Amino acid sequence: MPKYQPLPRVKMTKRSWPDNQLTQAPLWCSVDLRDGNQALAVPMGVEDKLRLFECLVNIGFKEIEVGFPSASQTEFDFIRRLIDENRVPKDVALQILTPAREWHIKRSMEALKGAENVIIHLYNSTSWLQRKITFNMDKDQIKELAVLGTQMVKENLSILKDSQRVVLQYSPESFSDTEMDYALEICEAVLAQWDQATGERVIINLPETVQWAGPHIYADQIEWFCRHLKNRENVIISVHTHNDRGTGVAATELALLAGADRVEGTLFGNGERTGNLDLVTQALNLYTDGIDSQLDFTNLPEIQRVYEETTGMSIDPRHPYAGELVFTAFSGSHQDAIKKGLDAQEKKENPTALWEVPYLPIDPRDIGKDYEAIIRINSQSGKGGAAYILSSQYNLELPKKMQPLFGQRVNSMADQRGRELEHSEIYQLLEEEFIQVEDPLKLDHLTWNFSDDSGQRVLCKAEVSYQGETHSLRGGGNGPLDAFVAALREKKWKDFTLSSFHEHAMDSGSQSQAAAYIELADQMELSSWGMGMDSNIDRAGIKAIISAFNNHKK
């Protein structure tokens, strides 16, 4: 017999969830302050929990599980501070977790005394494995424990007499590896015992406490349960997934398709073992499907900072949406596609136009990030990446014909140095290879004037150093660049023609610097590029000609 075997599947016919489509956000419940906190090597103190609670409220969570008050004095004191210091908005429900034991129930309800909006989360383990290994109890005993726990909550409701809203939540812990008919039997027994004791709909939370199977199995279980539960319309079905198989988000998304109404999870998936459902990923997945998640992650970097400082946890560089590298492309083909997509997006007149950028499923600016780290350069990068860095960081728009040549130089540098290149290194390479190229030709002095009233014909005079010797140049043309090229060609130092010329302002305003790009070619179709920058566009072009001249047949 094999050491491992698959979880038995629930018998389903005509399942509907594969054909369903999400159109709205679920109800959200953050369990960061309870489930997330109990998984930390050093649990949060009261001050850190207060800070994280405020962050969760600002994000928009209306239900927050704030602790296990019967487990420790710190948990109890934290909840009391929330209530006594009026830190809880009226539309935010405080949820606490309690096992189905009388002392725990009373202590938990004492912690909530005076709260306006309350969820009592009652649980007990129900799976065959827990019954066999942990509790040594049969099905009837486990069910009786759940029913008695529900009864004890009812009997102690007077503790919460000042609360405006009290909701019961029941979790058959380890639901996903409990026999489905038995899980249904226990939940219906709890519902019968409660019998709308407070007039509020009961939350039945169906945890995937440990992932024993794929997300499609969990979806089948949720749909089966929703189909067979009596008075389904009077119950809120909640899901609480973990990530043991790396599919916590997938399991939740499929469970919502299968009929779940509510989701429990944590920021960035913090939690025991491999963690809980990542609420950030879940919510932003909905957002990128065009669904308003009702949660605010427009300043995700600040949320990350609060999370890391309060929990002591760190976020992996590849973590969806939040990681340092998730919007970064090193691959040349990816960089080229992203640059073209961003350029096309910028040209759209409507700022809310449909997002159409290859490799980026979300606009980083929507979650408070910028474009600075989207393209980073190493030996795998291409022409588009280097061009994007120069454009985004230095306002330089390299001509398309020049990009492959510069990209090769950048790749060679990255390969030689064996690491990612800094932006400043890329710009320095551009300067050395295409801007400040002053050998063998160097410009010492330059003047020009118009030779007729039309202002079209230009005469150019220049003093240059060539191979260490001083020379005077004279030439005429249709403009300063044409005149300078004519003067330079008179010397017959090199055989070339001006093949292409590009120019642009580097920023707005009358004092703007201009950048010029020149390609020179000879009869053998060998070309060279040069670049110049100056407050005068003609002088920038002449500087570019000199650099291209010096690069020709170098």
In this predicted model, what pLDDT tens digit does every residue of 17-33 receive, in sequence order?
Answer: 999 999 999 999 999 99
Q: What was the pLDDT predicted at 51? A: 97
Confidence at residue 328, expressed as pLDDT on a 0 to 100 scale:
82
How many residues would you count in the chain? 554
pLDDT of residue 243: 96
In this predicted model, what pLDDT tens digit does every residue of 386-412 receive, in sequence order?
888 898 889 999 998 899 889 888 888
Single pTM value for the model: 0.80
DSSP-based three-state secondary structure for 360: coil
pLDDT of residue 173: 95
- The chain-wide mean pLDDT, for the chain, equals 91
| Residue 530: band (very low, low, confident or very high) from pLDDT cuts 50, 70, 90 | very high
More confident residue, 58 or 506: 58
Place 454 in a pLDDT band, splitting at 50, 70 and 90. low
Closest CA relative to residue 139, chosen from 126, 154, 158: 126
Alpha carbons within 13 angstroms on the beta-carbon side of residue 109 total: 26
Judged against a pLDDT cut of 70, whether residue 269 lies above it is answered with yes
SS3 state of residue 482: helix
pLDDT tens string 150-182: 999 999 999 999 999 999 999 999 999 999 999
C-alpha span between 216 and 17 (Å, rounded):
9
Picking from 18-22, 67-71, 296-300, 388-392, which range would have the lowest pLDDT averaged per residue?
388-392
State the pLDDT at residue 59.
98
Q: Is 525's pLDDT higher than 70?
A: no
What architecture is the 332-434 domain classified under in CATH? Orthogonal Bundle (1.10)
Phi, psi angle pair for 503, to nearest 5°: -150, 155
Q: State the burial class of residue 64 (Cβ atoms within 10 Å of its Cβ: 0-12, 13-18, 19+).
A: buried
Please give the DSSP secondary-structure letter assigned to residue 362.
S
Portion of the chain with pLDDT greater than 90, in percent: 64
pLDDT of 416 strictly over 80: yes
Of 241, 264, 123, nearest to 186 (Cα)? 123
Residue 382: the pLDDT is 63
Number of H helices, E strands in the chain: 17, 14
Asked whether residue 248 carries a pLDDT value surpassing 90, the answer given is: yes
pLDDT at 458: 85
Please report which confidence band the pLDDT of residue 212 belongs to, taking 50, 70 and 90 as the band edges.
Answer: very high
User: What fold does the segment set 24-304 form as a domain?
Assistant: TIM Barrel (3.20.20)
Confidence of residue 452 (pLDDT cuts 50, 70, 90): low
What does the pLDDT read at residue 509? 62
Tell me what the mean pLDDT of segment 133-154 comes to: 95
pLDDT (mean) for 443-464: 78
- Whole-number pLDDT of residue 379: 63
Question: Lowest-confidence range among 267-271, 293-297, 386-390?
Answer: 386-390
pLDDT in tens, 327-338: 887 777 887 888
Residue range 441-551, CATH number: 3.30.160.270
Task: Band the pLDDT of 381: cuts 50, 70, 90.
Answer: low
> How far, in Å, are 51, 134, 136, 234, 246 from residue 129 at the CA level?
38, 8, 10, 31, 22
pLDDT band at residue 245 using 50, 70 and 90 as cut-offs: very high
User: Model confidence at 455, in pLDDT bands (50, 70, 90)?
Assistant: low
Task: Identify the pLDDT of residue 140.
Answer: 95
- Helix ranges (H only) for 125-179 are 128-129, 139-155
Tell me, what's the pLDDT at 343?
86
Hey, where are the domains in the chain?
24-304, 332-434, 441-551
What tokens does 364 get? 């980083």
Would you say residue 430 has pLDDT above 90? yes
Q: CA gyration radius for the chain?
A: 34
Residue 453 has pLDDT above 60, yes or no: no
The span from the CA of 322 to the CA of 431, in Å, is: 35
Max mean pLDDT among 188-202, 344-358, 508-522 falls in 188-202
Q: How far apart are CA 61 and CA 44, in angstroms?
A: 20
* Per-residue pLDDT at 235 exceeds 90: yes
Which tokens sit at 551? Answer: 């690069």
**Mean pLDDT of all residues in 81-89:** 97
